Amino acid sequence: KFEKIWLVFGIISLIVFLSIVGVTAFSQDHHPSGGMDTIDPKKVDQTAPFDNPGVTQIDDDTYQVAIVASAFSYTAPELRVPAGKEIIFKVTSKDVVHSFTIDDTKVNMMVVPGQITTRAYTFDKPGKYLILCNEYCGTGHHFMFTEIEVY
């Protein structure tokens, strides 16, 4: 009889654990500042916002940064954004999987051809931040980096 109680207890704990994992996964998928859209990797240059990559001011408190990753660089003109404002990064790849990782921040996005990866971030401190690829993408992987200036 005693063993039966423990068995029931074990099953209940398992169910509770699995629902917590499920709810966490679900809420991350539906995070308002994250998420994914699809894009034709062959038409990146003709598809907004990547037809005009770089920084666009959306309103007083929001900026959008569109960036195209391809072996082995990030196609975007000079990147300058203000500190203390919400910066929405939209990144896609024209060829293979890269990453868009901003050193010293929590921004570490996987960049997948055919998908637009979106991530919102607010820089606290002005300065120059290194953007680099930490997903092995070929012989030039180690030379794939750029810079963003926060003012």
Q: Which residues bind ligand CUA (CB under 6 A)?
A: 72, 98, 133, 135-137, 141, 144
Secondary structure of residue 22 in the 3-state scheme = helix
Q: Nearest approach, Cβ of 136 to ligand CUA (angstroms)? A: 6
- Dist. CA 99–CA 117, nearest whole Å: 10
- Count the Cβ atoms, other than its own, within 10 Å of residue 31: 11
Closer of 63 and 145 to ligand CUA (Cβ): 145
C-beta of 71 vs 88, nearer to ligand CUA: 71
Nearer to ligand CUA, 81 or 133 (CB): 133
Q: How far is the CB of 137 from ligand CUA (least distance, A)?
A: 3
Minimum distance from residue 69 beta carbon to ligand CUA (Å):
6
Q: Residue 63 or residue 72: which is nearer to ligand CUA going by CB?
A: 72
We find the least distance from the C-beta atom of residue 71 to ligand CUA, in angstroms, to be: 6
What does 48-71 look like in DSSP terms, one character per residue?
A: TTTTS-EEEEEETTEEEEEEEEET
Q: What is the DSSP string of 83-125?
A: TTSEEEEEEEESSS-EEEEETTSS-EEEE-BTEEEEEEEE-SS
Answer whether 142's CB lies under 8 Å from 132's CB. Answer: no
